[in-house]
A and B are shown apart, each in its own frame.
Chain A
Amino acid sequence: MKITKRDIVIGLLVLSALVALRVFWPTAKAEKIASPIAKATPIDSTVCIAPTEYMRSHHMQLLNEWRNTGARDSRPYVTADGKKFQKSLDTCLGCHSSNTYFCISCHQYANAKPTCWNCHLSPLDKP
């Protein structure tokens, strides 16, 4: 294979495109709020995040998304009908820990072994 002038020009173009991409990549802008403390949405654990049917089949997707973005994106999770939730397992457990076996009974039946409880305290671990 011979390296021709054309190859070099193309290579340089690709390189400059990459550099431009890096320089001009838009950075996400969040709504500006004066005090970060005011940014906090209180944990709303009084209503369901989504209909029971949906949660029954899709809670893992939702929790996965919360897990992957919750720490670095301070914005709350907004449902289709405009309710806002703080992305935290505690938001769910606010209601659902009233039944100690809420998570575990079903997981045991389905033989699902989520890693949540390696760190998060399950209702069973709490005194």
Chain B
Amino acid sequence: MIENALKGNRLYWIWIALLLLVIVFGISAFSQQLRLGLSVTGLGEGVPWGISAMQFTFMAAVASVSVLVVLPSYLHDYKPFGNIVVIAQFLGASASAIALLSLFIDTGKPQLLLGLLRYATPFSPYSWAFFLLNGYVLINLVTGWATLGAERKGVPVAAWVKPLIYLSIPWAIALPVVTGFVFTPFSGNQWIASLLVFRLLASAFAAGTAVLLLIILILQRTTGFDAGTKVSDKLVLLVAYAGSLTFALIGVECFSRSQTSPLLWLSLLFGIVSLAVFFVPAWKSSTRWLMTASAGVIFSLWAEKGALLLYSSTGGMVAYTPTLKEVSMTLGVLAIGILFLTILLKAVVVVKRAD
């Protein structure tokens, strides 16, 4: 099935070339970082983590979306979602791969990162995150591939895949929770810290469904793969629910902190405006509006993660501007993940269009 990645129209190849270009920039920046250390980034005293860590949290959150598709379609036998289970699983795999790579480029000695498995520490959230992400890539790739294979042959999914799929459900919920704990030192104030994990869980589902919706809409436009209105309606509903909860919690934080990071205000503003689209019947039936609004929600939740990092763990706010090298590394990692996803989705689309 994978050989389909080598066939495509002009648009497809332009897209691949673009991704490769970004990746090349990223790799060159990363090789400089290997030589000169993390001094090439905008990080420093009091600012231990930056945009790369932000991408890590965001992508760990997006990865968990597959549960929102897998759970209804396997546990509650909700048929329409059966159509997009594979897409959700592949999205889960690529998003966790991006999250892992973001950790990789963010460590001082990446060559020792495997030691994280060897010295796994049960009370370290970072250790959990690393372990869970690795597992999640594997689970989703295996189950996704098996599901797709079964679909191509027109047979039901093999029995051995089911336990793995069930396993992926708690696994997916654990991902945003664990990354939430990684970031609690940045929450500043104790009762906000207690809300943080819930907020990250809610925002994970909002961001994840928004990404999934965007992908499905893009596929619809570019490849003609149609998931069906039932699916997109349901996803719109999910974004609306999870998004409302998230922005309520973000609002609580914005209005209760004595000093709120401007990024969080930006996130709230963008979020509420974009979310409105998901509620108004006239707007949500237009693909163009939906795509814009999904992008808005994604951007807003990206900013939410960024806001976290602007709080200093020793109190107050920090001054942090990412450098160009840092940005190209982070984007490079993102591009690697998207390339990976593109190739996987190519196979999906070919199979789906065949039947």
Contact = CB atoms under 8 A, between A and B. Distances in A.
| Chains A and B directly touch (beta carbon < 8 Å) | yes
Interface of A: 1
Interface string B84-108: 0000000000000000000000000
A1 B162 CA distance: 7
Contacts, number: 3
B245 to A, nearest CB: 30
B163 interface: yes
A82 B159 CA distance: 58
A12 B162 CA distance: 20
Contacts of B163: 1
Interface string B133-175: 0000000000000000000000000010011000000000000
Contacts of B159: 1
Nearest to B111: A115
Complex A-B, nearest 3 residue pairs according to Cβ-Cβ distance, in ascending order? A1-B162, A1-B159, A1-B163
B198 to A, nearest CB: 25
Contacts of A1: 159, 162-163
A1 B75 CA distance: 11
A55 B159 CA distance: 55
3 contacts: A1-B159, A1-B162, A1-B163
Nearest to A22: B122
B26 to A, nearest CB: 26
Nearest to B160: A1
A1 B159 CA distance: 7
B109 to A, nearest CB: 10
A45 to B, nearest CB: 30
Nearest to B159: A1
Contacts of B162: 1
A7 to B, nearest CB: 10
A51 to B, nearest CB: 31
A1 B157 CA distance: 11
A6 B115 CA distance: 38
A10 to B, nearest CB: 13
B111 to A, nearest CB: 10
A1 B163 CA distance: 8
Nearest to B118: A68
Nearest to B119: A68
B270 to A, nearest CB: 43
A36 to B, nearest CB: 25
Interface in B163-205: 163
B168 to A, nearest CB: 14
B34 to A, nearest CB: 14
B275 to A, nearest CB: 37
A38 to B, nearest CB: 30
A11 to B, nearest CB: 12
Nearest to B122: A22
Nearest to A2: B162
B153 to A, nearest CB: 20
A79 B162 CA distance: 53
Nearest to B163: A1
A1 B74 CA distance: 11
A75 to B, nearest CB: 20
Nearest to B162: A1
A4 to B, nearest CB: 13
A3 B163 CA distance: 10
A115 B69 CA distance: 48
A1 B161 CA distance: 10
Nearest to A1: B162
B128 to A, nearest CB: 15
Nearest to A3: B166
A103 B162 CA distance: 56
Nearest to B165: A1
A1 B160 CA distance: 9
B48 to A, nearest CB: 21
A6 to B, nearest CB: 15
A116 B244 CA distance: 54
